[in-house]
């Protein structure tokens, strides 16, 4: 006989038979919508007794309540009991449990069951119904849940005290909004991991990041993700309906990105009460909350809105039920007792759920049936069928695992072999991989954690409990890190939080113009323009710009002072018309009234104050005038000449209008009519009368010629398809003739100081 069974009774067993139900005497049902303080009330009432037990619907919520109770009375007085986690101080007085893991043998003064409406849930309802009938405190019993349970409790527990608690804040419909337009402190609810991830990715790009909450997350990962939201590192939470079960968050708005879910059997629409359970997470304590639609979900209809706002939901019809007295005399007897039907019309036999499916599948193996001949063996097999199917690969695979473990424990050793168990645990002990890989490993280790808490199945259960818990913690931390890396723009979130809290931030500008705010690179200041870091998507540009404002103001004022007093030789003009100062572009030439009167368009954004902008503009205008006078001295002098008379004055105007080169053939009559006095007046200003052109020899030098070509392109080049930013290169210095590119217009060559003769362009002074 297996050692694991040697101490068990060989007679027929009834699992969990504790006599007839106690009905409603001594039971108080506290019913109402979310945010009524029901769970808080239960904690306070429990602490008023010597010994108390509270059963909660989720491991995550059990951990949250456990930590609250520990904070009040100390860790030595509080036990935490879930399928995967058991903390049992020797002198524990208060037991915080998942509903399934509530100790049955413990006599407690106080017992509470939270979310009792889950008695109608197709998967787990039979457990809640069992606790509804049989979980009782010696002095006080509380049932907490939705008002939809009022009639069911009234019928099933006659004499129970029914107490209604109103919601502490208002809940109102806020309509339909795009995800990118949702208000801060919003939760976006979807019903698959893929949808949650896709939405979180969008929120990261557009709004800086989001925390992610899935029901499959370990408490450690979930708490770390929630902390990102609660601490203000991110303003959005993307979650499944896991947030609907009592997880207390500072939410102002709940947005539904989906209203259909897979309930383990089929895809279906959520009921109004299920929507209400989730929507009610918005608004905590006295703060009002809102709910609405987003993504592909259309606007809610008026009737549904009214029901959600007033918490007016249909009463629960029937509760899921399973016989409390399971007969383990044989496998067939066990199956028959599982098929027992209730007699009360408010109850319905629980459907085939995971443990029953596992039993049906594993007992198809004749070898398993041969081992399960005694009542003790049947009881052990049924106990192993309770192992949750965390991995959800397939019912057959899960049944194979149950069969393997049963075979080990039914062997002569009576234990799961340590080397086999070590290999299974070791396969999960790796933290590399993506989100799905880490989530799958967490599911694996949760299975082995659950098994490790069945002390009779392992030689050294305490060792394996510690080992699996350590691996779960490592995987949880790695998953939190991956979630944060993927769905949070950490730099943006830090800047946004400190901006929102109006905290003073340390900002500095490096010599190369890099701006650091709180040691985060947010962008670069080039001249008088701030360019946010382009690696931040969506909201980061705005966040960076806002965060850098405080340092930009003083730096731009300082730069304005420096440029206003700068000497002309520190300012330069590029070949494409950019104005350069200290190696930065601070402006560009744009067309003015004439080719010789261009303007400067200042490169500066809104961070430069109006007075500083005016000072800089005045200084650059003065520099430009001086620059043109210096580089084009004879031409500028001619354009400003006031001593010219007669035909000389007219020709001077035409020469300046043509940027210092006037074709003879276009002004032949006027040139012919010039007398010696007129010619002398023009020669005084440096004009030379060539065979084909009137020109200034001094302006054929490279610096002047390049500037003239730039001015021509700026003022008239676009007429010929030539832009200053893509201007053909002027012939190299020293060349007296070059092939004439027929694609270039004659005015280009003239501005460059060349005369087109056939297929050659000859420098003007050579003719």
Region for residue 232 given its phi and psi (left: phi exceeds 0; alpha: psi -120 to 50; beta: otherwise): left
The superfamily (CATH) of domain 18-164 is: P-loop containing nucleotide triphosphate hydrolases (3.40.50.300)
pLDDT digits (tens, 9 = 90+) for 744-758: 999 999 999 999 998
Angle at 686 between CA 681 and CA 690, to 5 degrees: 95
Strand 171-176 relative to strand 140-145, pairing: unpaired
Q: How far apart are CA 535 and CA 48, in angstroms?
A: 56
CATH 3.40.50.300 residue ranges of the chain are 18-164, 171-310
Q: Which two tokens stand for residue 186?
A: 């919003």
pLDDT (0 to 100) of residue 124? 92
Cβ 87 vs Cβ 70: under 8 Å: no
Task: Name beta bridge partners: 754.
Answer: 763
> Which CATH fold topology does 171-310 show?
Rossmann fold (3.40.50)
pLDDT digits (tens, 9 = 90+) for 139-190: 999 999 999 999 999 999 999 999 999 988 899 999 999 988 899 899 999 9
Cβ 171 vs Cβ 59: under 8 Å: no
pTM: 0.68
Q: Which two tokens stand for residue 299?
A: 């606007």
Q: How far apart are CA 711 and CA 597, in angstroms?
A: 9
pLDDT(4) > 60: no
Task: Name beta bridge partners: 31.
Answer: 145, 164
Query: Residue 146 contacts by C-beta under 8 Å, 6 or more apart in sequence?
Result: 31, 32, 33, 115, 117, 273, 277, 313
- DSSP type of residue 608: S
Cβ 419 vs Cβ 368: under 8 Å: no
Q: Which two tokens stand for residue 330?
A: 């044989």
pLDDT digits (tens, 9 = 90+) for 81-110: 998 889 999 999 999 999 999 998 889 999
Rg for the chain, CA atoms, rounded = 42
* Residue, of 52 and 667, whose pLDDT is higher: 52
Task: Name beta bridge partners: 755.
Answer: 762
pLDDT(592) > 60: yes
pLDDT (0 to 100) of residue 733? 84
pLDDT (0 to 100) of residue 642? 87
Work out the average pLDDT over 579-606.
Answer: 92
pLDDT(421) > 60: yes
pLDDT digits (tens, 9 = 90+) for 11-39: 333 333 333 455 778 899 999 988 888 99
Instruction: Report percent pLDDT > 90 for the chain.
Output: 63
């Amino acid at each position: 006989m297996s050692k694991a069974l040697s101490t068990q009774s060989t007679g027929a067993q009834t699992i969990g038979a504790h006599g007839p139900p106690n009905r409603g005497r001594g039971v108080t049902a506290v019913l109402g919508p979310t945010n009524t303080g029901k769970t808080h009330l239960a904690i306070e009432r429990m602490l008023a007794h010597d010994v108390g037990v509270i059963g909660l619907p989720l491991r995550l919520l059990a951990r949250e309540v456990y930590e609250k109770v520990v904070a009040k009375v100390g860790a030595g007085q509080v036990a935490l009991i879930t399928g995967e986690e058991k903390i049992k101080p020797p002198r524990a007085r208060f037991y915080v449990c998942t509903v399934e893991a509530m100790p049955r043998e413990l006599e407690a003064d106080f017992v509470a069951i939270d979310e009792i409406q889950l008695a109608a849930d197709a998967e787990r309802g039979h457990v809640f119904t069992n606790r509804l009938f049989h979980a009782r405190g010696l002095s006080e019993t509380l049932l907490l849940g939705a008002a939809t349970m009022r009639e069911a409790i009234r019928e099933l527990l006659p004499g129970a005290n029914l107490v209604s608690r109103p919601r502490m804040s208002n809940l109102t419909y806020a309509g339909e909004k795009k995800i990118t337009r949702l208000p801060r402190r919003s939760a976006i609810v979807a019903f698959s991991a893929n949808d949650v991830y896709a939405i979180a990715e969008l929120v990261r790009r557009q709004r800086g990041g989001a925390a992610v909450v899935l029901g499959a997350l370990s408490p450690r990962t979930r708490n770390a993700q929630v902390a990102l939201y609660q601490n203000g590192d991110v303003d959005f939470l993307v979650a499944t309906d896991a947030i609907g079960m009592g997880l207390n968050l500072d939410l102002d708005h709940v947005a539904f990105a989906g209203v259909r879910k897979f309930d383990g059997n089929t895809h279906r629409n959520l009921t109004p009460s299920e929507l209400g359970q989730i929507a009610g997470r918005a608004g905590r304590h006295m703060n009002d909350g809102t709910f609405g639609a987003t993504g592909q979900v259309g606007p809610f209809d008026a009737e549904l809105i009214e029901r959600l706002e007033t918490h007016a939901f249909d009463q629960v019809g029937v509760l899921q039920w399973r016989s409390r007295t399971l007969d383990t005399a044989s496998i067939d007897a066990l199956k028959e007792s599982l098929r027992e039907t209730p007699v009360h019309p408010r109850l319905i036999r629980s459907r085939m759920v995971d443990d029953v499916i596992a039993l049906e599948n594993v007992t198809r193996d004749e070898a398993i049936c041969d081992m399960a001949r005694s009542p003790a063996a049947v009881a052990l097999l049924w106990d192993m069928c309770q192992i949750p199917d965390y991995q959800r690969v397939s019912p057959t695979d899960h049944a194979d695992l149950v069969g393997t473990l049963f075979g080990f424990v039914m062997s002569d050793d009576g234990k799961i072999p340590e080397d086999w168990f070590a290999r299974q645990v070791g396969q999960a002990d790796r933290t590399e991989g993506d989100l799905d890989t880490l989530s799958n490993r967490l599911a694996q280790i949760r299975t082995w954690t659950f098994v490790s808490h069945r002390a009779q199945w392992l030689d050294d259960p305490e060792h394996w409990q510690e080992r699996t818990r350590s691996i779960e913690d490592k995987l949880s931390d790695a998953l939190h890190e991956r979630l944060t890396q993927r769905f949070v723009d950490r730099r943006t979130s830090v800047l946004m939080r400190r901006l929102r809290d109006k905290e003073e931030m340390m900002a500095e500008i490096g010599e190369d113009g890099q701006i650091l705010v709180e040691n985060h690179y947010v962008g670069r200041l080039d001249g008088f323009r701030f360019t946010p870091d382009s690696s931040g998507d969506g909201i980061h540009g705005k966040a960076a710009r806002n965060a850098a404002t405080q340092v930009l103001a003083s730096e731009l004022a300082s730069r304005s002072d420096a440029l206003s007093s700068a000497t002309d030789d520190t300012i330069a003009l590029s070949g494409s018309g950019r104005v350069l100062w200290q190696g930065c572009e601070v402006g560009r030439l744009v067309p003015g009234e004439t080719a010789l009167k261009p303007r400067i368009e200042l490169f500066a954004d809104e961070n430069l104050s109006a007075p500083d902008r005016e000072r800089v503009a005045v200084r650059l205008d003065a520099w430009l005038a001086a620059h043109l006078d210096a580089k084009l001295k004879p031409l500028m002098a001619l354009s400003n000449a006031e001593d010219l008379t007669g035909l000389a004055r007219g020709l001077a105007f035409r020469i300046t209008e043509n940027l210092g080169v006037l074709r003879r053939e276009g002004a032949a009559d006027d040139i012919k009519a010039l007398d010696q006095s007129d010619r002398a007046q023009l020669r005084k200003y440096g004009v030379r009368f060539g065979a084909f052109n009137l020109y200034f020899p001094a302006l054929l030098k490279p610096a002047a010629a390049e500037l003239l070509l730039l001015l021509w392109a700026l003022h008239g080049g676009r007429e010929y398809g030539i832009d200053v930013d893509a201007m053909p290169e002027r012939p190299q210095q020293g060349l007296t003739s070059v092939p004439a590119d027929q694609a270039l217009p004659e005015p280009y060559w003239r501005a460059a100081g060349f005369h087109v003769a056939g297929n050659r362009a000859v420098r003007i002074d050579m003719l």
